Amino acid sequence: MCVVTKKAFLLIFTLLPLFLFSQNEKDISAFKKVIKSKTHKFNTNRYFSKAQRFFIEDEWDSTLLYTMKELSVRKKDRELIDYCHFLRGLSFYEKEVFEEAEKEFAEISNTFELNNNVKVILGAIALEEEEFRKAITYFKEIDTITTQDLLGIKKGNLKHNIGLCYLHLEEYEEAELYLKNSVVLHEQQKDTLELISSYGNMANLYYQQYKDKLAIPYFEKAYQLAKTTNDFVSKQNTAENMAVVEENRKNLSKALQHRKEFEQWKDSVNDQNDIWRTAQEEKKYAINEKEKEVVVLQAENKVKQAERNTFLYSAIVLLLLLVASAYFYREKVKSNKIINAQKEDLDELNATKDKLFSIVSHDLRSSVNAIKTSNKKLVNTLETENLKEVNNLLQNNSAIVNGAYNLLDNLLNWALLQTKQSYFEIAKLHLFHTAEHVAYNYKAILADKELSFENNISKSDVVFADQESLKIILRNLIDNAIKFSNPKGKITLYTQNNNDEFCNLVIEDEGIGMDNSTREELLKETVLLSKKKHENIIGTGLGLQLCKSMIKKNNGKFSIKSELGKGTKMIISLPKKPTQ
């Protein structure tokens, strides 16, 4: 296994932040007790008292409901308002609705006694959203504060998360300093689960720098420590990482043993999740039953009120009918607009489909007919025992079949792209390795045509793109370069890195080239190019159109430089930084 693959695989669980609030049940309970004692003076406020109780019981939706009711009552007590926003922010944070959590924390005054905790949680949100510089700013503001002043938040977890931010930013010296501090603190406090994660991230820090001798002992520490816990997820992740470590050491028997452990803990996690889901369903059922009882009581009250206020309710019913009629009329108009828009899209897709099928069927028919004719010649030539001619015919058949296969492969990817079923994941890629992987599959075809191939892409060039779609783009453009190259020609891949925003990947051949009118036609935003200028080459133009669509979806640009008889340069411009 190559080094790059090994590094990527071991990122499985280590690059994760620790919970800012301790995972220890006693610490969580202590934090809630402090909150309860500090807000005890507001228990005479009916809505806030309920909100506080639901917060202690981890009922986030109910906490949000009653804090909102409390805020809707006109109050002049600033401290009560701050605590309402604080409980709301924590509830949104627990529900992972980070944007709303930030809005609530922004409403808290600068004099609030738990402002340090607010900053820590804002840092945690920034870390979750991968805004690492912003997270570091929040964490460092309170890094010098004593643990006693940060309710429910452990110093080791804070150090760990600062180190993790620097690790994501690839600032390894700073990351090592903070991660080591977090390990020391967790070892002193004997925080087992936090220590497992700290060991994992220390291992990952060294593994990313190819310091395997320093990394592997930390993976082993995390694995041994996980075995002493009842946390199946930690057992599962550390076992899997050790399996990969042993595979890279070529110790297959130990690797197999760790794989079996991984599968065992994975099944345990699944069983645990099933139990949790069952409990949630039972809880949901109980809530629904209680809601039904409330609905029945409300219905009885409404009947009694209706008896006393017949005329009033009649007016309300009429008003509701009018409102409902207006609402349904508006919804009908809106639905008709949506249906018309969908019909237009469908008509356009059908037109594209019809044209696509017409072109593809024509080329496939031509390919099959070419194979049929060639096979007939092959049978006749076999009788004459002319082996040279037989070899030529077989090579011709192979070229036709490869062309037809590429056509069908492009057709499948085109269909997935048009129906929005293709999966895109923009990530940081090293261009050299991706190009090398794709070019490897063309070695035989290049040798058959006596073409030389050079991959001159710098190993340091990095772009942000979807790896699978980039491979499809490279396959099509390299395939085109081979098709339009003369025998004994040359194909070169290289990058032009003179722009701050984009890196240009160039596929250059010394083939037949094209005139300016053909180049401009290829760059147009058309559905397909159905007319071929080279009848001996299988293709509909679908591959190039697929490339343009995928480059656009990767936030890139496409251009062509060519001169008739002097070769062609296909240029893909891909972003160096993640786009918003």
- Helix/strand/coil (H/E/C) assignment for every residue in 290-359: HHHHHHHHHHHHHHHHHHHCHHHHHHHHHHHHHHHHHHHHHHHHHHHHHHHHHHHHHHHHHHHHHHHHHH
Rounded Cα–Cα distance for residues 48 and 41 (Å): 11
CATH code for position 499 = 3.30.565.10
Position 445 in a domain? yes
Position 507 in a domain? yes
Radius of gyration of the chain (CA): 33
The encoded tokens of residue 50 equal: 């309920």
CA distances 99 to 71, 105, 153, 349, 478, Å, are 19, 10, 22, 37, 45
Position 322 in a domain? no
In this predicted model, what pLDDT tens digit does every residue of 302-347 receive, in sequence order? 777 777 778 788 889 888 988 888 888 888 888 888 888 888 777 7
pTM: 0.44
Position 436 in a domain? yes
Q: Provide the pLDDT for residue 2.
A: 31
Position 570 in a domain? yes
Q: Are 157 and 182 in contact (CB under 8 A)?
A: yes
Rounded Cα–Cα distance for residues 256 and 578 (Å): 38
Strands 490-496 and 452-455: parallel
Range of the domain at 562: 423-575
Position 221 in a domain? no
Rounded Cα–Cα distance for residues 87 and 62 (Å): 11
> Which of the residues in the chain have pLDDT under 70?
1-30, 75-76, 146-152, 268-298, 300-301, 348-349, 351-372, 374, 376-377, 383, 385, 393, 395-423, 526-541, 580
CA distances 87 to 129, 142, 233, 259, 561, Å, are 21, 21, 29, 43, 61
Position 373 in a domain? no
Q: Provide the pLDDT for residue 52.
A: 87
Rounded Cα–Cα distance for residues 367 and 365 (Å): 5
Q: Provide the pLDDT for residue 558.
A: 92
CA distances 115 to 37, 83, 119, Å, are 17, 11, 6
Work out how many domains the chain is built from and give that number: 1
Rounded Cα–Cα distance for residues 304 and 298 (Å): 10
Rounded Cα–Cα distance for residues 115 and 127 (Å): 19
Q: What percent of the chain has pLDDT over 90?
A: 10
> What is the enclosing helix (H) or strand (E) of 176?
helix 172-189
> What is the enclosing helix (H) or strand (E) of 509?
strand 502-509
Position 71 in a domain? no
